[in-house]
Amino acid sequence: MTDTTPATPLDPLAPLGKIKEFNPTRQRIKKWLVFAVIGFALFYTLFPVYWLFLNSFKTRLDMFATPAIWLLDAPTLYNYVQTFVERPFLRFMFNSLVVAVGTTILALVFGTMAGFALARFDYPGRAKYHVSFWILSTRMMPPIVTIIPLFLFFAFVNLLNTKTALVIAYTGFNLPFVIWMMKGYFQELPRELEESAMVDGDTRLGAFIRVLIPLARPGLAATAIFTLILSWNEFLFALIITETQTSNTLPIGIAGRITQYKTEWGEISAAGFASCIPIIIFAFIVQKHLVRGLSFGAVKG
């Protein structure tokens, strides 16, 4: 928090406000106001996560106690043992990991290629606009009904109950997002970058791989994390395509703890909390790219 109190007065509304006369009291009030807002937003964001965390260490009795128990009173590992030892949640987690990583790699490779093509090349007529829009429109299809034909499709190619089927499908779901993000990103990069590489004797493909990709790293990191999250958490499609432990993903395992008679709240909390740890780790690894990468023009800095 030290770097938020620099020597020079900070104006949080810099792009908006114009400070004609410098007023230290007003500045201080404004600053505390901003911190209060950030504090409230963080509390609102984190409280449900804290509650999930807390519940994962509570017995059923404590979870529904009146008055509610707000602190880690008598923590129990029961829920974690039930999910990760008694039930094959480690297996589900492994499946999710394979599927999410596979999807992220495929979607990023193909999406970046297509994004580059749409950003740089010309196509006959209005083909470019139509293709771009068609790509986006594939995300607008209501997923419910496509599930049935896709079920038939994967049964036909003998891929039901495989992680491969999930990777293919999720790659498709994620491509529009990746393509549109990377297309925007490449459009912001000056053409001279590749052109100078090509003058030096490189091919267009070579220039793309050696010059543009490294520059696009922040964009790739930010796009990757959203692809990862989406394929890590997808539920509806996995429900229909996967059958057994060879391909069941975590969200399916978690939903399975809501039975006809009873909901295993503690086990769901434990699995849910454990489930976000791998993504948090990845997010921390790429965090310095995160916000920069989400922006198209940020690379110039």
Partner 1 sequence: MDDSASTATVGDTPAPSFIGERLERWVETHLRYIMLAPAVLILAALTLFPTFYMFTLSFQKFNPAVDVPNEWVGLGNFARLLTDEKFHNALGNTLFFTGAAVGIEFVLGLSFALLVDKYIRRLNFIKTILMLPMMLPPVAVAITWKLIYQPQFGVLNDFLFRLGLPTGVWTSGADSAMWAIIFVDIWEWTPFIFLMMLAGIASLPEEPYEAADLDGASAWQKFRDLTWPFLRPVVTIALLLRLMDALRLFDQVFILTRGGPASVTETLSLYIFRVALRFQDIGYAAAMSLFVLFSTIVLSTWFIRRMQMDDSKA
Partner 2 sequence: MKRLLSLVGTLVLSAGLAGTALADLTVAVPNGSEGDGLRAAAVDYSKLKGVKIEIVQAPYSNLFERAATAASTRSGVFDIVLMDDPWIPFFAENGFLVELGPFFKGIGTDGPDNDFLSKSVALCRNPYNTGPYICLPYVGNAQLFFYDPEQYASVGFPDGPRTWDDVLTASTELTGDGSSRKYGYTMRAAEGNPVVADFMPIFWSFGATLFDADRKVSLQTPEALQAVKMFLALAKVAPPGVESFGADEVGTAIAQGSAYSAINWPNWVATFEDPAQSRVVGKIANVKMPDGTSAGSSEIGHWTMGISIDSKNKQEAFDFMVWATSAEQVKISALRGNPPVRFSVFTDTELTSQEQYRHYPTLMQAINFSTPRPRHPQWPEIENAFGRELSAAVAGRISAEEALDRSQKAIEAIIAR
Catalog residues that contact partner 2 under the rule CB under 8 A.
59-61, 64-66, 148, 151-152, 155-164, 239-240, 243-244, 246, 252, 255-263
- Which of 26, 28, 46, 73 touches partner 1 by CB under 8 A? 46
Choose the contact partner of 36 out of partner 1, partner 2, none; CB within 5 to 8 A by kind.
none
Q: Which stretch binds partner 1 (CB under 8 A): 21-29, 71-79, 80-88, 232-240?
A: 232-240
**Residue 158 region, left (φ>0) first, then alpha (ψ -120 to 50), else beta?**
left
The CA–CA distances, whole Å, from 229 to 80, 91, 105, 110, 225 equal 22, 19, 13, 18, 6
Contacts with 62 (C-beta within 8 Å, 6 or more apart), sequence order: 69, 73, 74
Nearer to partner 1 by Cβ, of 203 and 245: the residue is 203
Output the smallest distance, CB 233 to partner 2, in A: 16
Tokens 């007023």 correspond to what residue?
23
Output the smallest distance, CB 161 to partner 1, in A: 18
Residue 145 class from Cβ within 10 Å (0-12 exposed, 13-18 middle, 19+ buried)? exposed
The CA–CA distances, whole Å, from 107 to 66, 110, 162 equal 48, 5, 18
> Interface with partner 1 includes 32 (CB under 8 A)?
no
Find the binding residues for partner 1 in span 128-167 (CB under 8 A). Answer: 128-129, 131-150, 152-153
Output the smallest distance, CB 163 to partner 2, in A: 7
> Interface with partner 1 includes 49 (CB under 8 A)?
yes
Output the smallest distance, CB 15 to partner 2, in A: 44
Nearer to partner 2 by Cβ, of 255 and 277: the residue is 255
- Which of 25, 67, 192, 261 touches partner 1 by CB under 8 A? 67
- Which of 102, 108, 180, 227 touches partner 1 by CB under 8 A? 180
258 forms beta bridges with 263
Choose the contact partner of 244 out of partner 1, partner 2, none; CB within 5 to 8 A by kind.
partner 2
> Interface with partner 1 includes 72 (CB under 8 A)?
no
Choose the contact partner of 294 out of partner 1, partner 2, none; CB within 5 to 8 A by kind.
partner 1
The CA–CA distances, whole Å, from 209 to 102, 203, 226 equal 21, 10, 23
Output the smallest distance, CB 262 to partner 2, in A: 5
Q: How far apart are CA 56 and CA 78, in angstroms?
A: 9
* Cα 272 to chain centroid, rounded: 16
Choose the contact partner of 161 out of partner 2, partner 1, none; CB within 5 to 8 A by kind.
partner 2
Output the smallest distance, CB 149 to partner 2, in A: 9
Residue 42 class from Cβ within 10 Å (0-12 exposed, 13-18 middle, 19+ buried)? exposed
Contacts with 89 (C-beta within 8 Å, 6 or more apart), sequence order: 83, 250, 253, 271, 274
